[in-house]
Amino acid sequence: MTRNVITFSKNVFLPLTTVCRNRCEYCCFRTPVTEHCIMQPVKAEHTLACGAGLGCTEALFTFGERPEEEPGFERWITQAGYDNILQYCHALCEKSIDAGLLPHTNAGVMTFEELEYLKPVNASMGLMLETTADIPAHRNSPGKIPEIRIEMIENAGRLQIPFTTGLLLGIGETMQDREESLIVIRDLHKRYGHIQEVIIQNFCPKPGTPMSGRQEIRFDEMCAVIRMARDILQEDVAVQVAPNLADAASLIPCGVNDLGGISPLTIDYVNPGHPWPQEDELRRSAGNYILGERLCIYPQFIEKGWFSHELEPLINQLVKHLSGQETVS
């Protein structure tokens, strides 16, 4: 991977529901079931159209994990015309492709069959490993059991899904836990070759959550984890930080070569108090590095043909848009 290029993508963020079975002690995304707990199709399609008009190439579909396990949710998803949230997501992924945006879904823990169901309409998918440690912040979150998350990441590899994962720093794990988490990701990529980027994300305390008073990770500690990630992970795996949560300009010299997705239209619903920087700000953060826009499926996976026939025309179109030449045959 070219070291003098810092990449990013332009996206729209669509939180299809904030209902979630997990109760992570640092999360402000989750909300109770109400009649407004589902993003309505009209709003979703409007967001996709506006995003395409602003030059976005990615639709990031994120929602609470297994919301059907929360009492009352099924009523509202049925009223929206779908049997479950994954069926709704699949339908919107198709709308996204029609609008000219490549879908990337982060739905929490899914089974092999569920991943297989969403694969044809997603250019890439993701699940944060967060940590391999058993921590108090996850005590009421059945989807945060490390073995369950590792199994899903492995299943994505079996299905040849270009995949994003990462660590969440400062939620109760140790430096040894971080090293172990990175080794697990490295070994999964060695076996399946499907990890395209690893996010090193710093925990940011949210008002009203049980961890609102916890201190954020120090810069030197975060830099050390980024260096560790660069040492442990393979050369073809990007190391990413979120430029709305951390000082990207200071962290790039530690080994960062990707700044994730930014949006000219939608907020970061998981971290609503942290606005996205825009492209000119990213360029300043990149300093002497070249800032390059990418798709949510990395070039090596395009070259391998890890995408469906349904996605091929749009990938061709967007590759031409970004680079001026066609790389998919």
CATH number of the domain that 311 lies in?
A: 3.20.20.70
Residue 44's domain comprises 5-323
> Each residue of 169-198: pLDDT tens digit?
999 999 999 999 999 999 999 999 999 999
318 lies in some domain: yes
Residue 329 predicted with pLDDT over 50: no
143 lies in some domain: yes
> Each residue of 228-242: pLDDT tens digit?
999 999 999 999 999
Residue 326 predicted with pLDDT over 70: no
What is the mean predicted confidence (pLDDT) over 35-51?
96
What total of structural domains would you count in the chain? 1
pLDDT at 323: 82
328 lies in some domain: no
DSSP 38-85: B--HHHHHHHHHHHHHTT--EEEEE--S-GGGSTTHHHHHHHTT-SSH
Name the phi and psi angles at 23, rounded to 5: -135, 65
Q: Give the residue from 298, 258, 312, 301 showing the smallest Cα distance to 282.
A: 258
What is the mean predicted confidence (pLDDT) over 148-165?
98
